[in-house]
Chain A
């Protein structure tokens, strides 16, 4: 085998220019896949991080049917106190759960006494909310951004667009008017304690008030809430934790439904959703993954055509030589191996070259820290070198190179020596 490898490499170096041109093309393709993969993954994880750390959490639990009516923020699909206690028990016992935050989400009107506009509000306990969404206090650009008390009783945090639209400054009074689930309207005056920047997604332009204020405004006397946002200790374990938790939560019996009837045990009264099901960004993330796949397919095509072309030329140019080695007695299997190793070596060399180039470009991007705005979010791309992507690209290139060499190699190994020797 050592001798076969030696001859294969020398044959590659024999046509230096052709080998380098082909290698460069394949290396470019590999580098493109790695850079695209690295940047794509960095973009995906950056946006995912912002969304999950700013407002979504990693998972959310609602009363069954809530997600379907989420745009209306229905108060009648709330998690009752009894169900909440059961869910708390499950979450407290789960070692993968770092924290969870209970929320009441509802629609309201906000007025600066001269103008009124609609607003979506999330009522939270700030300390719990900051553990689930650690980036949330950082989004409060004006006013109090203390993670433990970014929204105090009697105060409200408004999104930048509404604060600017109503010409409000931190410290100004506003009135929030809301309708509760029985249909009664109530209004309370709040002090604007902070202005938050917008991010994409359904909860990206919500205002925040304290959970106790929401109960007063909506006249909720028991402890019911509409949503529980959950933060995991390790986001990478979402794929494992989510299905298990979903199953456990779904097995809980629902408390009183809207018709006042008890949901039977085992039928499930609550539903769990991962951030992907709650954010439109998951579609973008899927598109990014699809684009990476397309680039990968283009790479496969580049490698296939390049190696096939080079190896076909190599066989046609060396027919006489093939005749010589065959007449000397080289077994057909070794002639086959000779050309396969040649194609494989070319692929391996080009793949490694591409990996190095791709890693180099990504390291450069990492050092530069590319900043840009995406859907009102300021992103900073610092793509990591995706080792798994590199390994995958290299493997794909080597396999495709070998496959592309197979036909020319078979042709060479099946040549009749006497025919090949006649070829000059």
Chain B
């Protein structure tokens, strides 16, 4: 399922690795550094949080790992492949097969039902056969508690329900890595806890690595490893022994 280049071996390779990765945003003649020489290794199967104030570079780091953006310097490896060197077509294929995304605004496709939204990456990206597709969508909707809403459109759902569907969509293709940018920012306290619990459960069940960019202390408290980012630099790395399974 995970596509690795022949020349790259999985053995002893972290799932995510950044080597001196930097990113500058250029506006006219002004170059603004968003990330500075980041070196980072993330092992598979972790629940990780990037925390820091707005504009610190959390989302930029997530975008580089998710091969949505390219670093202006350094290299980024995901699952053994150098994603920073991929062209648009290859990186789209790589994302579709290896990375799931959960967004702050849920980003469900409004013209598709809950079922079709979860099914979308399996049809349009992975070309999964119909029977297997049905099985996986049904399974994921069951797991996120949205099976009974399968026929509804996003506009008919609450914020919490939409984010559960987004979790199901991110996990249905069975990615090794899920990237979530402020996934609880638009949810109330109780719903946010439910969604975090759901992602935690999914992480355990599918051994998926979750990386969050967040301000939310609820998520931070659940993370096994917390990276604090300030002014484009990782200023602190700490393990959270108390992490896991709080609701």
A residues with CB within 8 A of B:
3-4, 7, 10-11, 13-14, 320-321, 323-334, 416-418, 421, 424
**Interface 9-mer from B13-21, B36-44, B117-125, B203-211:** B117-125
Bound CA span A321–B107, Å: 7
On whether the beta carbons of A14 and B110 are closer than 8 Å, the reply is yes
On whether the beta carbons of A418 and B110 are closer than 8 Å, the reply is no
Bin the interface of chain B by size: 20 to 34
**Interface 9-mer from B62-70, B75-83, B135-143, B194-202:** B62-70
Q: Does B112 contact A (CB under 8 A)?
A: yes
Q: Does B92 contact A (CB under 8 A)?
A: yes
- Which chain B residue has the least Cβ–Cβ distance from A11? B111
On whether the beta carbons of B63 and A328 are closer than 8 Å, the reply is no
Closest CB of chain B to A13's CB: distance in Å? 8
Closest CB of chain B to A316's CB: distance in Å? 16
Residues on B with C-beta less than 8 A from A332 are 88-89, 92
CB-CB contacts of B94-138 with A at 8 A, as 1s and 0s?
111101010101010111100000001101110000000000000
Closest CB of chain B to A308's CB: distance in Å? 22
Bound CA span A333–B92, Å: 11
Closest CB of chain B to A329's CB: distance in Å? 2
- Which chain A residue has the least Cβ–Cβ distance from B111? A10
On whether the beta carbons of B68 and A327 are closer than 8 Å, the reply is yes
On whether the beta carbons of B96 and A329 are closer than 8 Å, the reply is yes
Bound CA span A417–B89, Å: 12
Residues on B with C-beta less than 8 A from A326 are 92
Bound CA span A351–B50, Å: 54
A-B contact pairs, 19 of them (CB 8 A): A3-B124, A10-B111, A14-B111, A324-B101, A325-B120, A327-B95, A328-B95, A328-B124, A328-B125, A329-B92, A329-B94, A329-B97, A329-B125, A329-B173, A330-B125, A332-B88, A416-B69, A421-B68, A424-B105
Bound CA span A421–B59, Å: 11
Which of A330, A333, A424 is B96 in contact with, Cβ under 8 Å? A330
Residues on B with C-beta less than 8 A from A328 are 95-96, 101, 120-121, 124-125, 169
Closest CB of chain B to A261's CB: distance in Å? 81
Residues on B with C-beta less than 8 A from A323 are 107
On whether the beta carbons of A320 and B107 are closer than 8 Å, the reply is yes
On whether the beta carbons of A331 and B92 are closer than 8 Å, the reply is yes
Bound CA span A333–B124, Å: 11
Residues on B with C-beta less than 8 A from A324 are 101, 103, 107, 109
User: Beyond A328-B120, A329-B121, A330-B125, is A321–B66 a contact (Cβ under 8 Å)?
Assistant: no
User: Beyond A329-B95, A332-B92, A417-B68, is A7–B125 a contact (Cβ under 8 Å)?
Assistant: no
Residues on B with C-beta less than 8 A from A334 are 124
On whether the beta carbons of B68 and A321 are closer than 8 Å, the reply is no
Enumerate the 10 nearest inter-chain pairs by beta-carbon distance, A residue then B residue, closest first.
A329-B96, A10-B111, A324-B107, A329-B125, A329-B95, A418-B68, A418-B69, A417-B68, A3-B123, A328-B121
Residues on A with C-beta less than 8 A from B66 are 327
Bound CA span A320–B105, Å: 10
